[in-house]
Amino acid sequence: MNDANPVLSVDKLHKAFNGKTVVSGLTFDLYPGEILALVGENGAGKSTSKNMLCGLLAPTGGEILIEQQKVAEVDGALHGISAVHQELSLFKSLTVAQNLCINDLPGSNLNIDWSKAEKIARKELDFLGVAIDPQALVGDLGAGKQQIVEIAKALLHANKVLILDEPTTSLTKPEREKLFAVMQKLKARGVAMIFISHFMDEVYQMADKYLVLRDGQQVAAGELAKTPRSELEALMVGREMTQSQIELAPPQNQVSLAVRQLTSCHFNQISLNLKKGEIIGIGGLMGAGRTELAEAISGLRPAQGEIYIGGKFIKRPSLATMLKHKLCYVTEDRRGLGLFPQRSVKENMTAANLSNFVQPLFRGIGFKNEQAAAQQVVDKMNVVLPDINSAVSHLSGGNQQKVLLGRWLACQPEILILDEPTKGVDIGAKLDIHKKIAALAASGVAVLLVSSDLQELLDLSHRIIVMRTGEQVAEFNRDAFDPTKIIAAAASSAYAKETS
Amino acid sequence: KEIRIGLAVDQLFESRVAENNAIKAAAKKRGFQIIEVVADGDAQTQNAQIQSLISQRVDAILVCAVDQNTINGALMRAQRARIPVIAYDRKLPNERVYQAYVGPDSVQDGFLAGQHMVKQLKDHSGEILVLELLGALNDQNGIDRSKGFQQALQALPNAKIISVPTDWDSAKALAATQNAFQANPSIKAVFAATDTQIPSIETVLIGLGKAHPVGHPKHIVVTGVNGSNDGYQATKKGFADGIVVMNLDQIGEKSIALAEKLIKKQKVEKNHVVAGYFYHSGNIVKNKDKIWGAGQ
Amino acid sequence: MKEALSNQLKQNPAMPMLAVLMILFSTLSPYFFDAINMESIAANNAVILIAAVGMTLVFLTGGIDLSIATVISVSAVMAGVIMGHTDNVLLGVLTAVSVGAAFGLLNGFLIGFLGLSPFITTMGTQLIARGIAFSVSEGIAVQGTPEPVIDFGFALVMGIPKITLVSFAVLLIVGFLVALTSWGRYIILLGSNPLAARYCGLNTRWLELSVYLASGILGGIAGFISIANLGNALPGVGDTLLLIIIGAVVLGGTSMNGGEGSLTKTLFGVAVLAVLTNGLNLLGIPFYDQLMIQGALIFIGYSIAMRLNQAKR
Amino acid sequence: MSFKLLFKQKWLPIAVAALLMSIFLSFVSPAFLTLTNFESVLVQASVTAIMAVGMTFIIILAGIDISVGAILFFVSSLFAQTLNTTGSVALAFSAAVISGCLLGTVNGLLIVRFKVTPLITTLATYTIYRGMALHLTSAQNIPVPREIGWMGNGSFLSIPVPVWWMLVFTVIGIYLLSQTRFGIYCKAIGCSAQSAKESALPINRVNILAYAIGGLCAAVAALILIARVGGLQSGIGIGLEFTVIAAVILGGTKLSGGSGSVAGSVIGAIFLVLIDNGLNLFNASPYIYDIVRGFVLIVAVLVDRVSVIKNQPNALKFKTSSEGN
Ligand SMILES: Nc1ncnc2c1ncn2[C@@H]1O[C@H](COP(=O)(O)OP(=O)(O)OP(=O)(O)O)[C@@H](O)[C@H]1O
Ligand SMILES: Nc1ncnc2c1ncn2[C@@H]1O[C@H](COP(=O)(O)OP(=O)(O)OP(=O)(O)O)[C@@H](O)[C@H]1O
Ligand SMILES: [Mg+2]
Ligand SMILES: [Mg+2]
């Protein structure tokens, strides 16, 4: 493979925002059919590197060579480089087919052949093996499906280099496998790929080479086959990672949250008892209705059925009443539903629970102490940021996630509903967050954990409930956890409703 | 020392420009300098502009108010600064704030136009529908023209007046005329508060096949006030019956003459009404010189 | 101190524009820094400043209030009528404020609770307000303004018109509410991302209602001040102000899309427009040319200021 | 078109509102349901409707154009002045159309080149264009001969020419929006400028073209209006921009951009004319005109809102950000 010429060479690439260096010394060669894993902690500069390589940001130093030609400015479409962006770059008011084909619409300028576009879209989606209606509006799809559309869009134009920036964060196991199969096909076709991920399993499964960034510096590069996993992790984090198993304290007997026969158009007859100090994981495939269930319990969506908190029937669930009962919900869609993009990290941190952060002069007046209190949370969550007063949209994806989590953890919840809490968070930070959740549970907080990361569910839950197309199909206790069975329950249509 | 006169204008449109030109011509004759400010229809702006004239210490202020009542404040400041104020075209209700007024007699102008219409319609029996295109609802001249017109029409007890607002806007006048004729196909006469709307009326009547010249049995009586070229052309070709034309030249001449006297600290009379003049198809050629819009 | 100044410069694109205009006009016209002229600029922009404060609040939430200018007219007319009959100034103030509040409540209910589009809704209430103002006054200024109100319009405190002081007081109070209360924080968050605001448990409906209510009340106050400034209540006084108000707020740097902006910005935006129109008048530039110069200066000034702003960031 | 698809159309609510309004008017006024009245409603709507077609693209792009009224004024002035001084009809017409496109293009160029928000840019050009027009004519009215007024007064196949123009612009607009790259790019850019940048769409070219089309529409509207009014009236068209924007928004296009409908804008323009038509037919008191207009506008958006709630039961609870405006 290496006898060919590199399709992409990068030499001492450098990027600074207002004099603050974010990436420096990035140097590598990428050959056709090769997969390079770009790894590093949150805020290490991975997405920034990607943006420079696909022409969205102009580098402040270094050079980029494409097929050994030095290019002043990368033009993705012209140079055959396409990317799956960490934050979805889709047009929500357009259909799936329109989104997929927007860069290369069939037909002429003055007469687009929409039926052909639809065919192209259908073919591409079939290639990925997912059932998405090409005529559906992207805004109407769930987060997972949107991610697939984003991937499909990039694949459609990947003829030389494809950059995937955390493509799997919203995908469940089967979809991940499908994506990997497609990547293998592309690899065989000679397409070179740069794969950014925080999942070490995936990195080892897919990539040939690695490149480690730490604080914007390229600290190591090499062949994955020759590097043991612990060494790579140490390179990333700058310390040895202890593969410690999370210790879960046993739940208490009191029931914190009881849900009876909860039903809406997205899910059907869901019942569960969440005890104090218990962590229940909810597994399932994309579109199983887990997010909808979590939102319904939090009072954000209407649903029939009964919800009890601490044995008390909640008559008209709304987010405000739930908050009063110290139930907090952390959304999976941090960009759309979670953060206030132009506002500062400080304001984002305190948005849900301002009164706890400040020492007001009178009720509702004055923000004394806000900065210091928010800074404490930032430190506790290890958020990497230039300044607590800078806009949250300037943070890296994983750090944005930490801000969101920090906001809700600071509310001192008694019941915590987490939807994909570690989406885009690096391995070190993830372990920290897991420990924090376990500690919270140990102190009596009841946790409902929705996650597409099966390992996370296995590590962190006392019980796992599996949902499939809105139905509650299986339940596993910690001692009976079995990944294959869980996946089977989530995916198979033959798997009968059972509890183990 | 050169004499400078501040000219505070409400808004620029055809007849106002003609009037201002008359003022400027009269000023030029005497070697006065004119400092013109235009408020663009905004009372607040005009208030500020008059104050800026005061801070420039002009020798006299000629003002056509956006609104008659709202420049009191600025004009009182002018009194304090001992700058004489002459209101032109629009009268001011507060006698204390100005030294002289020169302008049209809008009630009389409306009355003259109405009188001619009554003459044309008096032989009709049964209910006579008359369409009145109002000016802007907040313009005293428009309100006065309407008042005079309606007074004149009291001579026809069987006339019924349909009034529609136009904000002096020809496009609105066009739509309003069209709709009024839809609702009341038997309208016999149209009065336009400004004759610049007569071409719009013509468009509608041509579309309805009702544009018959003066003298035709089915002719629809059209009169108006102002004296622009639009009215002149329409009357000349017999579409309109007659127009009341404002004597802008005299308004211009008189206001500068008054200013001169006031600057020389001479006593002047307060009110100077310059009556309009009615012309019709019969005497239009003879009166061409008096019609400011007719051109040379 | 120096840092604070450069911070202000960074945040307020209109500030350098203001400085340049003031230097320009004072060199070109000896009358510019005249006390009478400064007084006139200050007095004649009090109404605009108060209304612009209201519009800024609405912009912060990502809405728009097209009715604010006409609310000025209708509340002025109503207050004028009441004062004409009773000669009671306090009653006049109350009337102006409550008429403004009524329109604000109507807007707020329709937009916050029924979820109607702010643009069309406030356009509708604008027309209603205009219709009421004109039918109550029959189109002409309401007579019989009590003397104390007219005197108030003329009165100066240390060379500053009292009505200007009122507008500054309004700016300070609302500025305090926006910068230092949780209500202020919440409306900005709402404007930044309404869905996220909901997911934070903020009561978005009440917040929206409160903002339109506030802008209505400010319109009412502006209406009363316009009586003091002009000497009479005028049914068309606000109509021409709408574009000026919107222009001043946006020129100051507050975004129409919500979530970004401040009242300091609005103060500078109003000041720039005020100085610009005043200066062009003083220079005796013909009206048509004034229009062209004004447009060009606004555009050039804004784009240069934006550029400076970005370069510094 | 299937039933389900019909219910997804953005123009549906305003069409329903217009229909209800028509039914109401035909019950209370016998003059309403006549062919000539129908014709005159369409003719009156044509100017706003044609400008609304252009504005639709601009608003879908998440832009706004305050200057269209001023463009209309300038184009009319140039047309009348050219005709007056040269007497050449062909020259006047081409000057009008070219200048309209040009002024629109200038808007677009300024916006993309200097990255100043569309509101400020077009507010500035609004004053500039208006000043230019006044300069050109010294605020005089200029009559145009009735013979060349076929744009506004003629008819073809017994349908008035303005209605033909409205039809042509509507059809072209619908086609442009749904079938061409330009149309789909407008929606995409308006939906998310960031994503459009990431997808390397020709953002600048699309913007310039959209504003140029807005200018062209204003120019054609100007030719119709000047012919119908019988000449240039100083200040013609100023203030029309808000009516045009209202028509577009009533038609289901969101001020925040991303999606919209040309047909809706045209129906919105007709709806606005229906209000005034009804008021005139009733011989209503001049003072209640604005009050009625205001009420009807609010009722119209209520109809729109009700339809949204019907389509998505929890819409009231779930006011999405894109519905903000
Ligand atoms: N527009 C910007 N302005 C200023 N700083 C920025 C900007 N974008 C990114 N940064 C900073 O650059 C650094 C690197 O960000 P980047 O998004 O590349 O991280 P990342 O490696 O992708 O992290 P993650 O794994 O969390 O996605 C971060 O510290 C971030 O705060
Ligand atoms: N904003 C939305 N509007 C309409 N339908 C939606 C929306 N979001 C999700 N849905 C629908 O709800 C169903 C479940 O969505 P979703 O994919 O979010 O489920 P999930 O179980 O939370 O999966 P995941 O969290 O893995 O994405 C899907 O059928 C999806 O089409
Ligand atoms: Mg990243
Ligand atoms: Mg989900």
| Shared domain check, A200 and A300 | no
pLDDT of A489 above 60: yes
Structural domain contains residue A244: no
Query: Are residues A261 and A327 located together in one domain of the fold?
Result: yes
* Residue C105, pLDDT score: 95
**Which residue's CA is the closest to the ligand 1 atom numbered 31?**
A395
Q: Which domains, ranges and CATH numbers included, belong to chain D?
A: 3-317 (1.10.3470)
Is C292 in contact with D127 (Cβ distance < 8 A)? yes
Q: Which residues of A touch C260 (CB under 8 A)?
A: 342
- Answer whether B40 sits within 8 Å of C287, measured CB to CB: yes
Q: Residue A394's pLDDT band (boundaries 50, 70, 90)?
A: confident
Both A218 and A300 in one domain: the answer is: no
List pLDDT tens digits, range B54-96: 888 889 999 998 876 667 777 888 888 889 999 898 877 777 7
Q: Which ligand is nearest to the CA of A198?
A: 1
Judged against a pLDDT cut of 80, whether residue C66 lies above it is answered with yes
Residue A191 lies in a domain: yes
To the nearest whole angstrom, how far is the Cα of C243 from the nearest Cα of chain D?
8
From chain C, the residues in CB contact with B40 under 8 A are: 240, 287
Cβ atoms within 10 A of the Cβ of D27, count?
10
Compute the distance from residue A143 Cα to the ligand 2 centre, in Å.
7
Does pLDDT of D322 surpass 60? Answer: no
- Which residue from B44, B69, B138 is facing C231, i.e. has the nearest CB? B69
Q: Which of B32-41, C78-87, C235-244 has the lowest mean pLDDT?
A: C235-244
> Ligand 2, closest atom to CA A291?
22
Q: Which of A394-398, A427-431, D72-76 tops mean pLDDT?
A: D72-76
Average pLDDT over residues A74-100: 84
Which pLDDT belongs to residue C172? Answer: 94
End residue of a domain, out of A185, A210, A237:
A237
Residue A143 CA: nearest ligand 2 atom is: 27
- The whole-angstrom separation of Cα C143 and Cα C122 is 29
Shared-domain flag, residues A60 and A125: yes
Distance from CA of C183 to the nearest CA of A (A): 7
Judged by CB atoms closer than 8 Å, whether chains meet at D233 and B196 is answered as: yes
Ligand 2 close to Cβ of residue A157 (< 6 A):
no
Distance from CA of D124 to the nearest CA of C (A): 4
Q: Which of D29, D139, D229 sits opposite B200 (nearest CB)?
A: D229
Instruction: For a ligand 1 pocket test, name from A164, A334, A395, A403 the mutation site with the most ligand atoms within 8 angstroms of its C-beta.
Output: A395
CA neighbor of B61 nearest in space, from B262, B269, B272: B262
* DSSP assignment string, A192-253: EEEEE-S-HHHHHHH-SEEEEEETTEEEEEEEGGGS-HHHHHHHHHSSPPP-PPPPPPPP-S
If one compares A492 and B255, the residue with the highest pLDDT of the two is B255
By alpha-carbon position, which residue is closest to atom 5 of ligand 1? A394
Indicate yes or no: CB of D200 within 8 angstroms of CB of A109.
Answer: no
Q: What integer is the mean pLDDT of A329-349?
A: 88
**Which atom of ligand 2 sits closest to the CA of residue A419?**
25
Query: Which site among B17, B179, B203, B228 would you substitute to test the D interface, given the most D Cβ atoms closer than 10 Å to its Cβ?
Result: B179
Contact A364 C185 (CB under 8 A): no
Q: How many other β-carbons are positioned within 10 Å of the β-carbon of residue A222?
A: 14
Atom of ligand 1 nearest to the CA of A86: 27
Count the residues in chain C: 313
**How far apart, in whole angstroms, are the C-alpha atoms of residue D63 and residue D55?**
9
Amino acid at A16: A
Residue C2: inside a domain, yes or no? no
| Residue C60 within any structural domain of the chain | yes
Least CA distance to C181: which residue of chain A?
A365
Distance from C-alpha of D131 to C-alpha of A130, rounded to nearest angstrom: 59
CB contact under 8 A, B12 and C143: no
Assess whether pLDDT exceeds 50 at residue A336. yes
pLDDT at D320: 37
Find the domain containing C117 and state its range.
36-240+254-260
Whole-model pTM? 0.84
**Is A92–D182 a contact, with Cβ atoms under 8 angstroms apart?**
no
State whether C292 and D121 contact (CB < 8 Å). Answer: no
SS (H, E, C) D230-261: CEECCCCCCCHHHHHHHHHHHCCCCCCCCCCC
Examine the domain organization and report whether A191 and A285 are in the same domain.
Answer: no
Task: Evaluate whether residue A282 is within a structural domain.
Answer: yes
> In this structure, is residue A243 part of a structural domain?
no
Share of chain C above pLDDT 70, in %: 95
Domains identified in chain A, total number? 2
Which of A23, A38, A47 maximizes ligand 1 atoms within 8 Å of its Cβ, making it the mutation to test the pocket?
Answer: A47
In a domain, C166, yes or no: yes
Mean pLDDT of B191-211: 87
* D267 SS3 class: helix
Distance (Å) from the C-alpha of residue B21 to the closest C-alpha of chain D? Answer: 11
- Tell whether A172 and A259 lie within a shared domain: no
Give the domain CATH number at A373. 3.40.50.300
A138 plus A220 within the same structural domain: yes
User: For A334-440, where are the E strands, in sequence order?
Assistant: 415-419
B292, exposed or middle or buried, with CB in 10 Å at 0-12, 13-18, 19+? buried
| Domain-embedded: residue A50 | yes
Q: Which of B37, B52, B67 sits opposite C234 (nearest CB)?
A: B67
User: What percent of chain D stands above pLDDT 90?
Assistant: 33
From chain A, which residues contact D within 8 Å (Cβ)? 55-56, 75-77, 83, 85, 88-94, 98, 102-103, 105, 109-112, 114, 139, 301-302
Q: In 3-state terms, what secondary structure has residue B247?
A: coil
Residue D316: pLDDT above 50? no
From the list D200, D318, D322, the residue facing A76 with the nearest CB is D200
- Answer yes or no: is pLDDT of C313 > 70: no
Q: Are D141 and B196 in contact (CB under 8 A)?
A: yes
pLDDT for residue A77: 72
Cβ distance A103 to D199 less than 8 Å, yes or no, reads: yes
Atom 18 in ligand 1: which residue has the minimum CA distance?
A45
Q: How many domains does chain C have?
A: 1
Residue C62 inside a domain? The answer is: yes
pLDDT band of residue A243 (cuts 50, 70, 90) is low
Kindly state whether residue C304 falls inside one of the protein's structural domains.
no
Q: How far does the CA of residue A493 sit from the closest CA of chain D (Å)?
A: 30
Residue C245 lies in a domain: no
Identify the residue with better confidence: D296 or A295: A295
Residue of B nearest to C133 (CA): B138
In this structure, the residues whose C-beta lies within 6 A of any atom of ligand 1 are: A 17, 22, 40, 42-48, 86, 384-386, 394-399, 424, 426
pLDDT reading at D26 higher than 50: yes
| D106 Cβ neighbours under 8 A, 6+ residues apart | D125
Res A497 pLDDT > 50:
no
Task: Determine the structural domain holding residue A330 and report its residue range.
Answer: 255-499
Tokens of C277: 């129109």
Q: Do A381 and A281 belong together in one domain?
A: yes
**Which has more confidence, A88 or C191?**
C191
How many angstroms separate the alpha carbon of residue A383 from the centre of ligand 1?
12
For residues A440 and A483, state if they share a domain.
yes
Report helix, strand or coil for D87.
coil
Give me the pLDDT at residue C256, please. 79
pLDDT digits (tens, 9 = 90+) for A184-207: 888 888 889 999 988 888 888 888
- Name which of D312, D308, D261 is nearest C116 in CA terms: D308
Domain assignment of residue C184, yes or no: yes
How far is it, in rounded angstroms, from Cα C32 to Cα C37?
Answer: 6
A55, β-bridge pairs: none
Answer yes or no: is pLDDT of A240 > 70.
no
3-state SS string for chain C:
CHHHHHHHHHHCCHHHHHHHHHHHHHHHCCCCCCHHHHHHHHHHCHHHHHHHHHHHHHHHCCCCCCCHHHHHHHHHHHHHHHHHHHCCHHHHHHHHHHHHHHHHHHHHHHHHHCCCCHHHHHHHHHHHHHHHHHHHHCCCCECCCCHHHHHHHHCEECCEEHHHHHHHHHHHHHHHHHHHEHHHHHHHHHHHCHHHHHHCCCCHHHHHHHHHHHHHHHHHHHHHHHHHHHCCECCCCCHHHHHHHHHHHHHHCCCCCCCCCCHHHHHHHHHHHHHHHHHHHHCCCCHHHHHHHHHHHHHHHHHHHHHHHHHHC
Q: According to the per-residue pLDDT averaged within each range, which of A18-22, A188-192, C264-268 is highest?
A: C264-268
